Amino acid sequence: MDKQSYIPYKSIQIDEKEMTQRSKAFYQYLNLRRSVRDFSNRTVSKEVIEKIIMTASSAPSGAHKQPWTFCAVSNPLIKNKIKNAAEKEEYESYNNRMSEEWLDALKPMGTNWEKPFLEIAPWLIIVFKKAYDIDENGSRHKNYYVNESVGIACGFLITAIHQAGLVTLTHTPSPMNFLQKILDRPANERPYLLLPVGYPSKEATVPNFERKPANKVIKWY
């Protein structure tokens, strides 16, 4: 096997005072992020979407396999197909598949089977996980910790969307194999998450939620 090559790590040089300020400022900024369901149809440039996705693709992944594909959809015909297919599944879920307990848990969110944001938002990003890779010769190669890797990349994606001043929500129509068909993705790719991206509508509201305090989520040892 080839000897692995290494390069110097370019560390950022900041003092402790700046570190404290930056960690606080970043927390305060990210804590403003909310899942938004009311979108404006105002356009967002392809350039911005590309940078947001490349931020997501800079996430760590098992054995550096980057086992993901991000489909960025702005084509209204494809968005319409996705909306219709998602609403068909969601209608079934809300009416016949989800338990009473689940429906109760969702009440504060005010969600239902209708998903107008899938057409109104200027972009839909559909994240696919790659269970394995296929090389030029058609041979399969295993990927590792695929769910963890793609989950982390989605965290980077959501953070980058917020950093750009845009909004999103993590939509998980279930089942979502229709995305594989509509987007004509190969058999090694499985839909993972669907995120509409854009500006919030002027009238957008969000549930009045509070987040758990530090002593509920951190145990110091």
Q: Summarize as ranges the residues that interact with ligand IYR (CB under 6 A).
A: 90, 106, 109, 111, 171-174
Q: How far apart are CB 211 and ligand IYR at their closest, in Å?
A: 15
Provide the 8-state DSSP code for 57.
T
Which residue's CB atom is positioned nearest to ligand IYR? 111
Nearer to ligand IYR (CB atom), residue 48 or residue 98: 98
Contact 74, 118 (CB under 8 A): no
CA distance 36 to 39: 7
Q: How far apart are CB 88 and ligand IYR at their closest, in Å?
A: 13
Q: Where are the beta strands (DSSP E) in 102-177?
A: 123-130, 132-134, 140-142, 167-168
Q: How far apart are CB 212 and ligand IYR at their closest, in Å?
A: 16
Nearer to ligand IYR (CB atom), residue 147 or residue 174: 174
Longest pairwise C-alpha distance within the chain:
59
Nearer to ligand IYR (CB atom), residue 57 or residue 111: 111
Q: Which amino acid is at 53?
A: I
Q: How far apart are CB 197 and ligand IYR at their closest, in Å?
A: 16
Nearer to ligand IYR (CB atom), residue 129 or residue 171: 171
Whether the upstream peptide bond of residue 186 has omega within 30° of 0, thus cis, is: no
Q: How far apart are CB 170 and ligand IYR at their closest, in Å?
A: 8
Assign residue 171 a region (left: φ > 0; alpha: ψ between -120 and 50; beta: otherwise). beta
CB atoms closer than 10 angstroms to residue 92? 14
Task: Please give the helix or strand (H or E) that residue 196 lies within, else none.
Answer: strand 189-198
Q: How far apart are CB 115 and ligand IYR at their closest, in Å?
A: 7
Nearer to ligand IYR (CB atom), residue 10 or residue 107: 107
Nearer to ligand IYR (CB atom), residue 130 or residue 171: 171
Q: Nearest to residue 90, comparing CAs of 106, 69, 68, 112?
A: 112
